[in-house]
Every structure is written in structure tokens, then in C-alpha cells.
Chains A and B, each alone.
Chain A
Amino acid sequence: MKSWLLRAFRLLLSMRFQVVLVGLLAVLLAGLVYMAGRTGQDEFIEAREALEAVEAVNLRLDGAVSWSMFEFQMDFDSIADSQSELNQSVEHFYSMVPNASPALSEAVKAKMVAMEDFKTTQSVLRNSRDIASSLIAQLRDQAERAGKDVSVIFPLERDFLNFLSRRDPQSSAILLSTVEQIQQSESWLTSEHDWPVLKNHVLKLVDFVGRIGQVMMAMYATPVPQQIDALLAETENHLTQANFIAGRYRLALFIVAITLLLFSVFMAGRARRYLRLIQRSNDELESRVALRTRELEEVNETLSAEIAERQDVELQLNMARKLEAIGQLAAGIAHEINTPAQYVSDNVAFLEGVWREVEPLLSDYERLVQEGRVDENDSRELLSRTDLPFLRHEVPAAISEAASGLRQVSQIVLAMKTFSHPGTDGIQPADINSALESTVTVARNEWKYVAELTLNLDPELPAVPCDISLLNQVVLNLVVNAAQAIGEVRGDEGGGHIQVSSAQQGDHVEIRVTDDGPGIPKGIQDRIFDPFFTTKDVGKGTGQGLAIAHRVIQQQHGGTLTVESSEGRGATFIIRLPLHVAECDPSELESSSLHEPGNHETGEFAI
């Protein structure tokens, strides 16, 4: 029971239920409004008004009839108007209340019939009166013409007028008697043909005056007003009833409206509370979002600081790697330079010694010439003081070797310059062949003790779009690896072979670095490009060289770096570079390398 109540209460509180309730109330309200309009109140009021109009018209008609009767008006227009008005208003009433009692209609019809009687009677009266009046007036003229005393006519005139104004039986009787007297006394009148007419009309007048009263009475006797009253009373009754029902509806309407209003207020209150609640949770949410955003921003800042730091460290690492690479190369290059420096210096020392030896001879010879006593013995003596065949053989050789040594030094220095600083950054068309020559020269000291190196360069090779400085390092890496691989099997005995070649293959350029070292076992061929994979002893290599080389060729140049090798038969590393940069957008590559921290390493790398 309790749980049922609780459930009902919960239902009552639930928003959905409240919405449904409001809907029901609204429907009820609308129904009530409709029903209140259907009580017939207005119709009854209109019906009453119609009835009242009928009553008014009826009265007017009666008035018009009375007026017409007393005034003897020949004109029945106002009566006819009122008649039609009455008919119309009655019709109007019945059209509104078709099921009203037909008694009124019948009464009106009866009245109309009576009205026709009246009008006929009235017309006869009027006609007779007019004729009689004019005949009485003619009587005076007749009397004068006949020379008779006019005064005999006077009683007639007086009584006629009296009759006309009084129209009662007494004056009628007087008039009739007067007429009889005159007819009796004045015979001359009777001869006149007008008299009978006059008399006839007077009789008629008297007759119709008496009749018209009856007609009027009959007309008045029609129960029109009674019927109107009856209907009015009925209508009034209906109206009262309708008013009562309407009052009930209004009361219900009021109650429902109040309920709805209260409920709406309640709901508005709840809504406001909800709204406040939502607002509050919204605020809370916002503040939490703000807090979270701030936290995220802080994390973001920390992260970017860390990224910056990482980039810094990477930069330093790259720098260190570059320095390491330079240092490692530098020892070799120093040796490459020190060797010619040694023999240039020795040859120059030799030439210096030769000059020291020859100069006194020349001075002595000069002295002998000046003294004008150059004889054969002296000359022989001079010549015997030096080993001319030796000098003839060695001095030109010394000069040419010194010169070649200097050339070699400058060649190495130039190659170093070309290798390390090509003067361009990023992807630019470059002369691959000269780059390969420089790289091989720079790395000479790394391979010359273990192998002979042949360059097999395609002289027709077009300029290849590449980052030449990076490519140099990749090739250097491959050459050094090749030399180390050969060194593994041959030690310092030498006799290995390395071939570096370039060739165009359709829309690609291929650079091959081939060695006859131990080769790469099948098992690890697909791992040699992995970072940190190395077979070298600890401290000999970081295992990064090939991984970085692979990335440089693939990601920065859109090319490929592959290896072909069978164990015991050496290895060939193949770099394929596209001739058309369109295959890889350098800007995209650059940006990707900028955003990918790992790619920083591709900038430089150690050997």
C-alpha cells in the first residue's frame, strides 16, 4: 500500500506525468469553452429580441390602424409597411426558433385577415364620406340656385359633421332623422337625382360606421399580443435555464483554469528549480571544464617544454654524432694528408740539400768564368764534386713528387669541403658522380688498407634531385661498412674489392656499393636496416648507420635502399633515387621530418 502511494507520488512528481496532466487540463479547458458556447443563451436572447420586435411592430400596426380609422386616411401605406414588417419579424422569429409554438403565427394570420376586412370597410367608409360630403356641399349650391333658403341645409351639415366626428349610434340616429326630415320637408330635393345617392351613402356610412367598429374589435381580438407574451415567457424560461448551465460551465472553466494556472506556476517553479539546477551543474561543468582545460594547458606546456628539450637534446646528439663522425674521419684524413706532407717535406729537404751542394759549385764556376780561365781540368774538378747522374735522376722526380703530394693534399681538402659542405641545403639537383668521387676520396683511409676501390660512374648521368650532403653521408656509411666487412675476413692483408657505381635506370638513378666481404646471412638481411641492429663489437658501431641511411633515402628522397647478398659472396647495397621530385614532395617530407622527432636524426648521422 505504502509502496503504491510512493509510486503514485513519484509518478506525480515525474516530469512526464506533469506534462501529460497539463495536456489533459488544457483539453478539458478547451472542451469547457466549447460547451459554454453551446448553451443556446445567445439564441434565446436573439429570439427574445425578435419577439420584442414582433411586439413593437404589432403595436405600431395597431396604432396605424387606429390612426387610419380616425383620420379616414385613404393611404394605407404605413399600415401595409407595418403589416409586412410584422410578417417579416414573425418569420424571423420562427426562422430562429423553428420549433416554437405556431400559435403566434396563426394569430398573426388571423389578424391579417381582420386587417383586410378593416381596410375594405375603411375604404367603403372613406368613399361614402367623400361622396356624401361633396353632395352635401352641392346641396347648398342647389338651394341657392333654386332660391330656396339655404338654412334648411344647415342641420344636415351640422349633424353630418357631428356624425363624422362622433361616429356613435346617437349621432347616426340624429343624422338619419335629419335626412328624413329634410326629405320630408323639402321635396324639391328629392327630385334631384343626387339626393338618393346622398341618402344611400349616408345610410351606408351609418351602416359601415357601425360595422367598422366590429371589424376593429375583431382585429383587436386576434390573440397576437397574448401569443407574443406566451412565447416571451417561454423564451425567458429557456434563457434562464441556459444562463444557469452557462454559469455551471463558467464555474468549471474557472476551476480548471485556476488549476491549470496553479499547476503551471508549480511547473514553472519546478522548471526554474531545474533550470537553476541545470544552471548550477552547467556552471560547475564549466568550471570543471575550465579547470581541466587549465590542467591540459599546463600538461601541454610541460609537454612542449619537454619536446623543446628533447629537440634540444636531439640537436646536441646530432651535433655530437656529427663531431664524432668528423673526428673519426679526421684521423683518417689527417693520415691522408700527413703522408703526402711527409714526402713533400722530405723532397723539399732533399732539394734544399741539393741546392746547398750545387750552389758552391756554381759560385766557383762563376768565379772561374769571371777570371776567364775555364779549362777542362777545373771543369772536371767541379763536376766531380757532385753526383750529376744522381741529381739528374732524382731532382726532377723529387720536384714532381712534391708537386703531386701537394696536389693530393689539395684534392683531399677539396673533397672534404665538397663532402661536408656542398653549399646547398635540401633537395637540389646535384652531380652524383662528383659527390661519389669526393666521398670515396674522403673515406680513402678507411678502405685503402683492405681493398681496392673502383669507381664505375655513368658519364651520361643527369643531375639528380637530392640532398647531396645527406646522400654523401649515406654513401660514406656504405663504403665504410663495405671496408669493415672486408676487413672482417681479410684483416689488414688487403686484397678486397669495393666497387662504387652509378647508372641511370629509366626514371631512376641507381648507386651501387658492392664489396666482396663475408656477405650478409639471409637470416638478418631484413633486420640490418632496423635501428640499433649491429653485428659489430661494442664500441665499434652504434647500429644506427644503416637505419638512418635507410630513412634518409626512403623518407627524404622517396627512393629505396636495398641489399643483395649471399653469405660468403659479398654484398651490394643499392640506392635508387627518383629523377623526378614529383614522386615525393620535398616540402612535405621536410615538414614531416620536422614534426617527427625521430627524423631529426636523419639530418646527420655517425658512421
Chain B
Amino acid sequence: MKASESKFGETSGGKRQHILFVDDELRILDALRRMLHGMRGDWVMTFESDPLVAVDMLREQPFDVLVTDMRMPRMDGAELLSQAREIRPGMARVVLSGYTEREAAVRSVSLAHQFLTKPCKAEMLVSTVARVCNLRARLDAIGLADTICRIGTLPSLPALYQAVTEEVNRDNISLVRLADIISRDLGMTAKILQLVNSAFFGLGRQVVDIKEAIKYLGLEIIRALVTSEAAFSSFRPEQRGLFEALWHHSSLTGLLAGKIAELEGCDRLVRGESVQAGMLHDVGQLALAARMPEEFQSARQLEDDFSETVSMRERALIGCDHDGVGAYLMGLWGLSDRIVEGIAFHHCPSECTFSGWSPLTAVHAANALVNERLETGDAELDLEYLRSVGVSDQIDVWRREADQLFAGSRGASTATLTGGGG
């Protein structure tokens, strides 16, 4: 938490965030009002028991965050979330539900950014709402709130999307095969991590391993996610070439980041976070390509002079580079701070206030080493940063690891990624 405060944890200036709480149970609202009384300095809170009235309120004035119950008379939470996304796309949406049914999560998985379950501890509620508040405020500041907050799903590679659809329709559905497919796809990996780490499932710890996540969510949920088409989707065919390269790059970065973390003797959680941060480090590209395809393309077309990097052009064109977009989105989706950090600062790790070893270190190194070999992009090793972390003497070891990885995986990865060039 501390690490990201510089960019994602701070309260945004003097402007108070406006939060709308909707629950049909008045006593819940009363208790929330009392409990959150201490937050009145930072938040302007509105409590509404009728979702229809809440919709009207959303039309009349902007809110920064919506916290809603799922099951309510007259209009259910999913419907409210869906309408809220249309009316105020830039608003952060949080579910606070008393339902333990997993189907409810599936129903709202692409509508809400975070899922909380009743009874939810006061600190948990406050910290979650505060986090999305701040992320949203920063997005708002750069004018991207509507674009980023609107994103419910990230597109998947068509081949992998088809593979996962086939797999869940099999009679002898295999958890290993399913995990293999999902862990190679950015969109599905992000969604699964969002779901499994939400408070909805009451898991007291982080899950970063896809196989473990599937095991925990259950094959039925995965099947529902796939077949409902709410959580997963496929991108348009004309974008295929670009995305295949991105997928290849992301997979390799994830694998290498995991290796590096392993070589550094990190524990299982950090290794997993390193893998996922590596895998998702360019998820912002995916979001931009899906939501702002024109800007995304033009930022990559002006390649004549090498005075500007893609990130610089993105900042100029969009207001934020893809690192930032990916980090904001994953932050909104409730992924752990260390993964969000790894995504946010993978180009410029020195900007991160936390200067010790973290998954960011692994992702930065892996990304740069993969780029060296694919001869794409503009990422270079930040030797000063690595020295400050105290791992500069490890670079050669990691490089050898990268060479081995490339030698071993080139054939396989290109084959699975529909033979796309990298």
C-alpha cells in the first residue's frame, strides 16, 4: 500500500469524493452512515434505499463511486450497475452484497469493479472505497475516467477464446488444460484474478496462480463465465497481428519474471505476483486498443524519428501511457498493489517510491530482456535502479535464463499462438 501512495494512494487534493450507497435495508444504510461518519471530511455520502430513486439521482448529479446491494425489490443490483455505467461511465462501481451465491458474482462480474460481501469489516469497506476513489480521481484528472471505468471485460485472443469455449463444453473438462489456456490469455487472466481476489469469495488471502484460482472458483463458475459471454470476449479479427505479438511478448515476460523471482529466492506469492505482473504489464495496451483504437494506432505509427518513445506519444495523445492505463484498470479491478506497481512502473522503476526488491524488479528486468531478444519496443534495463535494489550482478544470470527460455519456448509458443510472428 505504501509503495503506490505516490501515484495511487493519495487523496486527491481538496476535492471531496461523492459516494452513493444503495441498499434496500434502511438499517444497513443507517449503520453505514454512522460508521462512515468519520470519513465525512473526505467523502460526501448519499444513502438511498430505492434503486429507482438512485438512478434518478445519478442522472441529476455526478457521483464518483457507487456502492450497491445486489438483491433489491423493484430493481436488482446488476440492473442498477448497468444503468449507472451508461449514465456515469466514469464512476467506480462496487458491489456490497449479502448473497453468497456465486452466480451473483458472475452476473455482475463485468459491471462492477470490486465485490464486497456482507458482513464486511468497516476497514475493508473504507479501504476498498478509498482505493477506487483515488484511482478514479486520478483517471478523472487526466480525462480517462469514462474510458477506463467503463471497461468491463478485456478481449481475448480468438484462438484462446475458442479453446476455452471448447474446453468448458467438453464432457471431461480438465482443470489443467483450462488453467493452461487461461494463463496464456491477458483478458481472461485479468478477469479471473479480479474475481478470485474479490471479497465476494471471502478468501482471506491473495490467489495469483490461475490453476489455484480455477480450483477455488470451481469449474461451474468458469463455465458460466465463458458461456454467459459477460466476462470473456474475443477481439476483432483485424487486430489479430498486433495482439498476437503482444500475447507472445506478455507470456514470455511473465515466464521470465517468474524465473527471476525464483532465482532471487522469493516465496510462492511473490513469484506468482511476478508472473502475473509480467503477464499483465502491457494490459494497458489491450485496454487502449479496445477502447481508443485510433489513438492507440497513431501513437505507434509516428516512428520516423526516434526522439519519442511510444509511451511519450501515448501521454501526449491520450494523457496517459499504457503502463498507467493498465495499472489504473487493474487497480480498479482489485488486483494487489504489488501487481499494479509492477504494471505501472515497468518502464521506469525508479519512479516508484518503494526502492527494495519487489515484483516490479522482476517485471522490469524481464520486460527489458524479452525486448532485447524480440527486438521490439523501447524498453531498456534501468541499471541504476537495479544497482539500488542490489541485483545488478544478477543481470547476466537472468539473461542466460532468458536465452534458455527463448530456445525452449519459441517453437511451442508460436505454435500455440496460431503461428503468429513475433
A487 CB, nearest partner CB in chain B, Å: 11
A350 to B122, CA, bound (A): 9
Which residues of chain B are within 8 angstroms of A401 by Cβ–Cβ distance? 27, 30-31
* Contact sample, A vs B, 20 pairs, CB 8 Å cutoff: A341-B118, A342-B31, A342-B96, A343-B32, A344-B31, A344-B119, A345-B31, A345-B120, A346-B34, A346-B122, A353-B38, A390-B37, A397-B34, A398-B34, A401-B31, A448-B73, A492-B71, A492-B73, A492-B74, A493-B75
Our pick among A342, A350, A397, A494 for the contact of B119 (Cβ within 8 Å) is A342
A346 and B31 within 8 A (CB): yes
Stretch in A129-137, A149-157, A316-324, A332-340 touching the partner? A332-340
A341 and B119 within 8 A (CB): yes
B75 and A339 within 8 A (CB): no
A450 to B75, CA, bound (A): 11
Contact with A along B19-45 (1 / 0, CB 8 A): 000000101101110110110000000
- Taking Cβ atoms with an 8 Å cutoff, the residues of B that contact A are 25, 27-28, 30-32, 34-35, 37-38, 71-76, 96, 98-101, 117-122
Most buried by B among A346, A401, A448: A346
B98 and A339 within 8 A (CB): yes
A450 to B71, CA, bound (A): 11
Which residues of chain B are within 8 angstroms of A450 by Cβ–Cβ distance? 73
Which residues of chain A are within 8 angstroms of B121 by Cβ–Cβ distance? 345, 349
A343 and B100 within 8 A (CB): no
> Which of under 10, 10 to 19, 20 to 34, or 35 or more describes the interface residues of A?
20 to 34
Our pick among A340, A345, A449 for the contact of B72 (Cβ within 8 Å) is A449
B32 and A346 within 8 A (CB): yes
Residue in chain B with minimal CB distance to A445: B71
B364 CB, nearest partner CB in chain A, Å: 40
Our pick among A345, A397, A449, A493 for the contact of B71 (Cβ within 8 Å) is A449
A347 and B98 within 8 A (CB): no
Known A340-B27, A343-B25, A346-B122; 11 more pairs at CB < 8 Å? A331-B99, A334-B100, A338-B118, A341-B119, A343-B27, A343-B30, A346-B34, A347-B34, A397-B30, A492-B76, A494-B73
A339 and B118 within 8 A (CB): yes
B389 CB, nearest partner CB in chain A, Å: 39
Which residues of chain A are within 8 angstroms of B72 by Cβ–Cβ distance? 449, 492
A338 and B117 within 8 A (CB): yes
In the assembled complex, A394 has its CB within 8 A of some CB on chain B: yes
Q: Is the interface of B mostly helix, strand, loop or mixed?
A: loop
Per the 8 Å Cβ criterion, residues 431-468 of A in contact with B are: 448-450
A341 to B31, CA, bound (A): 11
A490 CB, nearest partner CB in chain B, Å: 9
In the assembled complex, A570 has its CB within 8 A of some CB on chain B: no
Which residues of chain B are within 8 angstroms of A353 by Cβ–Cβ distance? 35, 37-38
With A347-B35, A353-B38, A494-B73 already in contact, the answer to whether A334 and B98 are too (CB < 8 A) is: yes
Which residues of chain B are within 8 angstroms of A448 by Cβ–Cβ distance? 73
Inter-chain CB contacts under 8 Å: number: 91
In the assembled complex, A405 has its CB within 8 A of some CB on chain B: yes
A394 and B34 within 8 A (CB): yes
- Nearest 7 A/B pairs, CB to CB: A346-B31, A494-B73, A343-B31, A349-B122, A341-B119, A350-B34, A338-B98
B119 and A345 within 8 A (CB): yes
Q: Is the interface of A mostly helix, strand, loop or mixed?
A: helix
B294 CB, nearest partner CB in chain A, Å: 40
Our pick among B76, B100, B120 for the contact of A335 (Cβ within 8 Å) is B100
Which residues of chain B are within 8 angstroms of A449 by Cβ–Cβ distance? 71-73
- Taking Cβ atoms with an 8 Å cutoff, the residues of A that contact B are 331, 334-335, 338-347, 349-350, 353, 390, 394, 397-398, 401-402, 404-405, 448-450, 492-494
A494 and B34 within 8 A (CB): no
Which residues of chain B are within 8 angstroms of A492 by Cβ–Cβ distance? 71-76
A149 CB, nearest partner CB in chain B, Å: 186
A259 to B122, CA, bound (A): 124
Residue in chain A with minimal CB distance to B125: A346
A335 and B34 within 8 A (CB): no
A342 and B28 within 8 A (CB): yes
Residue in chain B with minimal CB distance to A357: B38
Residue in chain B with minimal CB distance to A493: B74
A374 CB, nearest partner CB in chain B, Å: 28
Residue in chain B with minimal CB distance to A336: B98
Which residues of chain A are within 8 angstroms of B35 by Cβ–Cβ distance? 346-347, 349-350, 353
Residue in chain A with minimal CB distance to B126: A349
A347 to B25, CA, bound (A): 14
B346 CB, nearest partner CB in chain A, Å: 38
A402 to B35, CA, bound (A): 12
A375 CB, nearest partner CB in chain B, Å: 30
Which residues of chain A are within 8 angstroms of B27 by Cβ–Cβ distance? 340, 343, 401, 404-405
B100 CB, nearest partner CB in chain A, Å: 5
Residue in chain A with minimal CB distance to B24: A449
A347 and B31 within 8 A (CB): yes
A532 CB, nearest partner CB in chain B, Å: 25
Which residues of chain B are within 8 angstroms of A344 by Cβ–Cβ distance? 31, 119
B38 CB, nearest partner CB in chain A, Å: 5
A494 and B74 within 8 A (CB): yes
B35 CB, nearest partner CB in chain A, Å: 4
Which residues of chain A are within 8 angstroms of B71 by Cβ–Cβ distance? 335, 449, 492
B25 CB, nearest partner CB in chain A, Å: 5
Which residues of chain B are within 8 angstroms of A398 by Cβ–Cβ distance? 31, 34
Residue in chain A with minimal CB distance to B96: A342
Most buried by A among B71, B100, B117, B119: B119
Which residues of chain B are within 8 angstroms of A339 by Cβ–Cβ distance? 25, 28, 98, 118
A345 to B27, CA, bound (A): 12
Which residues of chain A are within 8 angstroms of B100 by Cβ–Cβ distance? 331, 334-335, 338
A511 to B121, CA, bound (A): 43
A492 to B35, CA, bound (A): 29
A349 CB, nearest partner CB in chain B, Å: 4
Our pick among B30, B37, B122 for the contact of A345 (Cβ within 8 Å) is B122
A342 and B118 within 8 A (CB): yes
B223 CB, nearest partner CB in chain A, Å: 14
